[in-house]
Structure 1
Amino acid sequence: MDSIYRNAFITIIAAAGSGSDYGLPGVSRPRKSTPPVGIDSHAFMVMQNPSIDMKDSTWNTRGWTYQEMLLSRRRLIFTDYQSYFQCQKHQTMEQLHKDFESTDSMKRMLGYKHLLPTQEEFFTVDEIYSRLEEYYPRTLRYETDNINAFVGVFRELSDRTSDHYSSSPSGLYMPHQNPHFYGIPLWLDLKLADDDNISWRFGLSLGWRIEKVKNGPLFAHAGAMVKPSFPSWSWASTKGQRLNHDHYRIVFSSRPSHSGEIQDANFSAYVTHKSGERISLSAYTTRADDYTLFHPW
């Protein structure tokens, strides 16, 4: 699906209603309206902030729509009150006059330059962890899709050549073949490519925690606990134990690019293929077999 969104000329997003039968507001059903406010002899239009519409939409809670939002080059978003367009360089709201379509004007009025992140903003080494934190609360019908629905984001970052990162202070890039292991990002270093380096950064990426947002039970369940489909060291295991819209979020404590030089790491990670072969993480990144063909230990 990620290749479809990346190559589509435009993606139409229905950010209204709770199901596919709701239709597009303004096309297949009337929009909701906000009446003007009259003060003296002047009439003022009450504009609905699109970020509120988006945040509260069912579309924004679904796991499979995350890569749709992130990877599409151009998005035409339909809410109950208006439509909104954003590409990589420009955005416009149906309720705004043309004079207010610049990013600076939008930031002054709404508090942000873009309603949705642009590719320049999210395709960096550290931002992949912020994207995982964003994705984590979203819901999926099947627990086994916890990683699958995010793989397209890993793939997009790994598809960018290492030259893109050679000028950055970190010099890190994601391997093209296998950019993650059970959802944990893997990083190669242009300056120091060895087993200890990739293992050490893999260890840093394991530094995540679950944090309380509001009062409420941790991983409350309506029924009996079920065995997770992923290893306990992967964020995907706790995501599968959540009730929809619970009160917890995931936080990645470490950022591999901010950790300075490796000094006496003395840490090597190996993975075991289901055939019994044991290989290093660096060898794993070059294999055609993906993580599902390896044991999670």
Structure 2
Amino acid sequence: MEPDKLCRRCQKLDLNPLFSQEPSHGEVVPLVFVGQYVSRACALCRLFEIYCAGDGMGSGTLISASWRYASNYGWKEPDDGFDFRILGILPEVSSYSRDEAAFHRALFRLRGYIGEPVTSPPSWTDGTIGPRSLDPRAIDYPLLRAWLNYCNQKHCRKTDCQPLKVDNQWHFRLIDCKTRLVVEAASLGTRCPPFLALSYVWGKAIQPRQLDYTQPLQDLPLTIEDSLTVTDKLGFRYLWVDQYCIRQHDEGDKHSQIRLMAEIYGSAQATIVAAVGSDPTYGLPGVSKTRRSAQPHVKLRSGYLTWSYGSTKDDISSSAWSTRGWTYQEGVLSSRRLVFTDKQVYFQCGLSSFSEALNIPFDRVGSASNDDMFPRFRTAPYSLEIGDRIYEYTHRKLGNEDDILNAFQGILGQFSKLKPPIHNIWGIPVLCSPKNWTRSPKGFLAGLCWSLGEPPDGEPPARRHGFPSWSWAGWKGVAILHPHNDAVRPDSLMENDIYVAFESLDRTRTEWSELGPYLQTGARSDQSQLRVLALDCHAFLFENQVFDVIGLKMMGIENTGIDMGDLSSDIDRVVVSADPPGLIHSLDKAMRWTDHKFRQQLLVGIPIKLQATWEEMPRFFVLVMQQKSDSDLYERVGHFEWSDPRKLFDFETFSRSVATRRMVLRIV
């Protein structure tokens, strides 16, 4: 094959060291400054331009580097790594010179590198690291099977990777890829055969239809058809797809299947993730009709150069799949994932990850790296994670807002299996053991201390009707659980000062000591009796008060993103934060709550002290409740949080300075 045409500049580049010389560890040789492309007809210029365009670099210095890949950590420099020679383009920045090695590693991890492609031997167990040439028309199924086999063999005793055993009591269905019939899993024998699951975006183009389960499926969207093909090519016969395996017009069946989501995805041998397209008509690139993006490459006289692509994080995180609420738990709860993007296939189990465009011999593979797309969560979550999972989940959007808890049910269910379990009340985690129900609701009070950020679509936070205002599920926005771990000890004004109970809308009351039966699931229908939160507590009224921290003249205020006017002198003593403007009165105009548009309605503050074991700084929340018109009910409309780095302003001082009184608040 004749080499590609090059411009004069690229013809002068000496790339022989890339192909002939032995790597010398840590060597970085500048070759030439790469600005805007020189010639559209030059294959190497086009390759450099595509490489730079990914991060908007535009230009930089082309380098020849010898780098070391360490099996356990990715782009590092420990002694157990091995060297290989690459090309990369360093952007024109001044800060990287302070730690060039770290900057190079980050760049190669993010952008990939340009190098000579390698061909893996059939065993996949030896060879060299390097970019792999991909066929835009066809998936490398032997490689995908090798990934699955590697995990089965090397991680056979690792609970992070191995699929759950299917319980005969689980009633779910599978698509038979050979007959196209939807069959009951229980009808396939005493042991359910191995199967794959699919995670994809429904979109607006597809509406569920009434199926005749006695007839083979026909006229399937391309993504579903391609997934059946992948399942067969990987040696499996059965595939689980929610749209067809759940009877969409049977509310009882939908409810029971939603409660099984963690088990279904956890027991699948792998989940096919369609991180492409906005609906199921797009297909899986490289399987049938949908082609993958052509991999940038160039043929030189001295060899062949290919771009390794680098991290798949941007490709996956920018997909429609990564913005949908239902797909979040599908990715997190799966034992293994085969993620299809427009460029390549990415694989991640509980301990390792692979990309189709990068050859990593299996005898040099270590544990999962920082580039993993999915957390190690499926079998061993710990209590610290619940705030992280809620934060990540609430960045996503739902087609039906009523699904806010349904689409998170599998995640909540995993936390309920911990020892001690973390149950939830309308999504609010209860951070204490069930043995402590009758003693103290402190764990639940800690869970109430969440704040709200703006939704990812840029719209201002808004109420999600049908859900309690005291739960993050009752608001459209990013939820941040501040005391989201079991080391936080929430205290009120005094020991046992806040008493917690719940009521239904018809005023049927449930005391804290009676909660046990309701905490086995977070499903909305199962907790309707807990719709109204009844707090017997000390609270204060904002009415007729100029709120300069109630007589303390703020003792110097540090504003964290809210306009404080002239009150921000002598900072560093008390730190104040609040929910986004629009929910509650912003802290301007000397914080005169009487100027608020809701002046006609009563505003009440409920202080809750938070003291973490690792943090001695006094910190507490003030939950702001607003009385509903012509009602004895209240809604949460925001919060304030105070902390005092100098420890001059403690909770007791605040409680003495605020005109609190005992109140019973019914909050919806």
Specify the TM-score bucket, using the shorter chain as the normaliser. Answer: 0.7 to 0.9
Distance between the aligned counterparts of 1:68 and 1:214, measured in 2?
20
How many residues are aligned here? 263
The alignment-based identity, stated in percent, is: 31
- 93-102 or 34-43: which moved more? 34-43
Distance between the aligned counterparts of 1:81 and 1:134, measured in 2?
25
In the superposition, relative to structure 1, how do residues 137 and 113 fare at CA in structure 2: closer, same or farther (>3 Å)? Answer: closer
Amino acid at match of 1:296: V
In the superposition, relative to structure 1, how do residues 268 and 47 fare at CA in structure 2: closer, same or farther (>3 Å)? Answer: farther
Partner residue in 1 for 2:481: 252
Q: Conserved in 2, the CA contact under 8 Å of 1:129 and 1:252?
A: yes
Aligned match for 2:515, one of 284, 287, 292: 284
Distance between the aligned counterparts of 1:103 and 1:180, measured in 2?
36
Q: Does 1:97 align with 2:359?
A: yes
Q: Does 1:63 align with 2:307?
A: no
In the superposition, relative to structure 1, how do residues 122 and 114 fare at CA in structure 2: closer, same or farther (>3 Å)? Answer: farther
Partner of 2:436, secondary structure, is: coil
Partner residue in 2 for 1:207: 449
Distance between the aligned counterparts of 1:215 and 1:181, measured in 2?
27
Per the TM alignment, residue 214 of structure 1 is displaced from its structure 2 partner at its CA by: 9.4
Distance between the aligned counterparts of 1:227 and 1:88, measured in 2?
35
Partner residue in 2 for 1:294: 530
Partner of 2:499, secondary structure, is: coil
1:190-209: CA deviation from partner (whole Å, max 9, x where unpaired): 7x624343x11111111111
Q: Relative contact order: is structure 1 or structure 2 higher (C-alpha 8 Å, sep ≥ 6)?
A: 1
Higher normalized strand content (fraction of residues):
2
Q: Conserved in 2, the CA contact under 8 Å of 1:13 and 1:75?
A: yes
Aligned match for 2:272, one of 12, 22, 28: 12
Per the TM alignment, residue 3 of structure 1 is displaced from its structure 2 partner at its CA by: 2.3
Partner residue in 2 for 1:27: 287
Q: Conserved in 1, the CA contact under 8 Å of 2:431 and 2:486?
A: no
Amino acid at match of 1:34: Q
Per the TM alignment, residue 93 of structure 1 is displaced from its structure 2 partner at its CA by: 1.1
Q: TM-score, normalised by structure 1?
A: 0.77
Distance between the aligned counterparts of 2:513 and 2:294, measured in 1?
57
Partner residue in 1 for 2:425: 181
Aligned match for 2:466, one of 229, 233, 240: 229
Q: Conserved in 2, the CA contact under 8 Å of 1:196 and 1:267?
A: no
Amino acid at match of 2:433: D
Distance between the aligned counterparts of 1:63 and 1:213, measured in 2?
13
Per the TM alignment, residue 159 of structure 1 is displaced from its structure 2 partner at its CA by: 2.5
Partner of 2:467, secondary structure, is: coil
Amino acid at match of 1:207: C
Q: Conserved in 2, the CA contact under 8 Å of 1:12 and 1:77?
A: yes
Q: Does 1:54 align with 2:316?
A: yes
Cα RMSD between the aligned structures? Answer: 3.0
Higher normalized helix content (fraction of residues):
1
Alignment of 1:265-280 (within 5 A): 265-273=496-504, 276-280=507-511
Q: Does 1:125 align with 2:391?
A: no
Gap regions ≥5 residues in structure 1: 163-171, 220-224, 243-248
Aligned match for 1:116, one of 369, 374, 378: 374
In the superposition, relative to structure 1, how do residues 10 and 201 fare at CA in structure 2: closer, same or farther (>3 Å)? Answer: same
Per the TM alignment, residue 114 of structure 1 is displaced from its structure 2 partner at its CA by: 2.0
Per the TM alignment, residue 40 of structure 1 is displaced from its structure 2 partner at its CA by: 8.3
Distance between the aligned counterparts of 1:145 and 1:139, measured in 2?
10
Partner residue in 1 for 2:262: 2
Distance between the aligned counterparts of 1:149 and 1:15, measured in 2?
18
Partner of 2:374, secondary structure, is: coil
Amino acid at match of 1:7: S
In the superposition, relative to structure 1, how do residues 130 and 208 fare at CA in structure 2: closer, same or farther (>3 Å)? Answer: same
Distance between the aligned counterparts of 2:322 and 2:299, measured in 1?
34
Distance between the aligned counterparts of 1:259 and 1:93, measured in 2?
40
Per the TM alignment, residue 188 of structure 1 is displaced from its structure 2 partner at its CA by: 3.0
- 142-151 or 284-293: which moved more? 284-293
1:6-42: CA deviation from partner (whole Å, max 9, x where unpaired): 2212111100111111111110211112312578835
Amino acid at match of 2:330: E
Aligned match for 1:88, one of 350, 373, 383: 350
Partner residue in 2 for 1:218: 460
Distance between the aligned counterparts of 2:396 and 2:457, measured in 1?
19
Distance between the aligned counterparts of 1:39 and 1:133, measured in 2?
49
- 144-153 or 113-122: which moved more? 113-122
Gap regions ≥5 residues in structure 2: 1-260, 534-668
Partner residue in 1 for 2:61: none
Greater Rg by CA: 2
